[in-house]
Amino acid sequence: MSSKKPSEIPVNGISTPLSSKHTINRRQFMGATMAAFGGALVSGIPNISYAAKGGNGGGGGNGGGGGGSTSTRNPLFIPPVVSASNAALQAASSTVDVGGGSLSTALAYNGSMPGPTFVASLGDYASINFTNLLDEDTTVHWHGMIAPSYQDGLPFNPVAPGTSRVYEYPIIQRACMNWYHPHPHGHTASQVALGLAGGFLLRDNEELALNLPSGAYEVPLVIRDVELDNSNNIKYSGNSSGFMGSKFMVNGTLQPRLEVDSAIYRFRVLNGCNVRVWRIALSSGAPFTLIGTDGGLLETSTMVGTIEFSPGERLDLLIDFRGLPAGTTIMLQDLNEGWDLLEFAVTRQVNLGDTLPTGTLSTIETLANPVVERNFSFDGMRQINGKTYDMNAIEFQVPMGQTELWRFTTGGNAPHPIHIHGASYQVISRTGGRGNMVFPWERGWKDTVLLQDGETVEVLIRFDGYKGVYVMHCHRLEHEDNGMMLNFEVI
Nearer to Cu ion, 230 or 239 (CB): 239
Q: How far is the CB of 380 from Cu ion (least distance, A)?
A: 9
What does R_g of the chain's alpha carbons equal in angstroms?
21
Nearer to Cu ion, 299 or 395 (CB): 395
Residues 32-91 interacting with Cu ion (rule: CB under 5 A): none
Q: How far is the CB of 475 from Cu ion (least distance, A)?
A: 8
Nearer to Cu ion, 181 or 416 (CB): 416
Q: How far is the CB of 227 from Cu ion (least distance, A)?
A: 20
Query: Using CA atoms, how far apart are residues 343 and 291, in angstroms rounded to an integer?
Result: 22
Does residue 326 contact residue 349 with C-beta atoms inside 8 Å?
yes
Nearer to Cu ion, 179 or 378 (CB): 378
For Cu ion, which stretch binds (CB under 5 A), given 57-65, 159-167, 246-254, 414-422? 414-422
In DSSP terms, 221 is beta-bridged to: 269
Tell me which residue has its CB nearest to Cu ion.
474
Q: How far is the CB of 438 from Cu ion (least distance, A)?
A: 20
Q: How far is the CB of 436 from Cu ion (least distance, A)?
A: 22
Residues 448-487 interacting with Cu ion (rule: CB under 5 A): 474, 476, 479
Q: How far is the CB of 222 from Cu ion (least distance, A)?
A: 21
Nearer to Cu ion, 314 or 476 (CB): 476
Q: How far is the CB of 482 from Cu ion (least distance, A)?
A: 8
Residue 6 DSSP symbol? G
Query: Using CA atoms, how far apart are residues 252 and 152, in angstroms rounded to an integer?
Result: 25
Alpha carbon separation from 363 to 145, 146, 175, 437, 449 (Å, rounded):
20, 19, 12, 22, 21
Nearer to Cu ion, 271 or 347 (CB): 271
Nearer to Cu ion, 276 or 416 (CB): 416
Q: What share of the chain is helix, strand, coil (3-state, %, to 5)?
A: 10, 40, 50
For Cu ion, which stretch binds (CB under 5 A), given 18-26, 298-306, 346-354, 412-420? 412-420
Query: Using CA atoms, how far apart are residues 340 and 372, in angstroms rounded to an integer?
Result: 45
Q: How far is the CB of 351 from Cu ion (least distance, A)?
A: 48
Nearer to Cu ion, 165 or 382 (CB): 382
Q: How far is the CB of 474 from Cu ion (least distance, A)?
A: 3
Does 416 bind Cu ion (CB under 5 A)? Our answer is yes
Q: How far is the CB of 379 from Cu ion (least distance, A)?
A: 9
For Cu ion, which stretch binds (CB under 5 A), given 61-69, 191-199, 203-211, 415-423? 415-423
- Cis status, amide bond into 155, omega within 30 of 0: no
Nearer to Cu ion, 183 or 479 (CB): 479
Residue 8 DSSP symbol? G
Query: Using CA atoms, how far apart are residues 356 and 362, in angstroms rounded to an integer?
Result: 15
Beta-sheet pairing, 372-379 with 404-410: parallel
Nearer to Cu ion, 203 or 421 (CB): 421
DSSP 230-284: TTS-EE----SS----SEEEETTEESEEEEEESSEEEEEEEE--SSPPEEEEETT
Residues 243-282 interacting with Cu ion (rule: CB under 5 A): none
Closest alpha carbon to 82 in 136, 2, 25: 2
**CB burial of residue 299 (10 Å; 0-12, 13-18, 19+):** middle
**CB burial of residue 392 (10 Å; 0-12, 13-18, 19+):** exposed
- In the Cβ-directed half-sphere of 135, how many Cα atoms lie within 13 Å? 2
Contacts of 268 (CB under 8 A, 6+ apart): 14, 177, 199, 201, 218, 219, 220, 221, 314, 315, 316
DSSP 48-117: ----S--BTTTB---S---TT----PEEPP-PPEEESTTEEEEEEEEEEE-STT-EEEEEEETTBSSEEE
In DSSP terms, 332 is beta-bridged to: 282, 342
> Around Cβ 101, how many Cβ atoms within 10 Å?
16
Residues 169-208 interacting with Cu ion (rule: CB under 5 A): none
Number of residues counted as binding Cu ion (CB under 5 A):
4
Nearer to Cu ion, 305 or 411 (CB): 411
Does residue 117 contact residue 81 with C-beta atoms inside 8 Å?
yes
Q: How far is the CB of 347 from Cu ion (least distance, A)?
A: 42
Q: How far is the CB of 472 from Cu ion (least distance, A)?
A: 12
Nearer to Cu ion, 238 or 444 (CB): 238
Q: What is the chain's length?
A: 491
The residue ranges that bind Cu ion (CB under 5 A) are: 416, 474, 476, 479
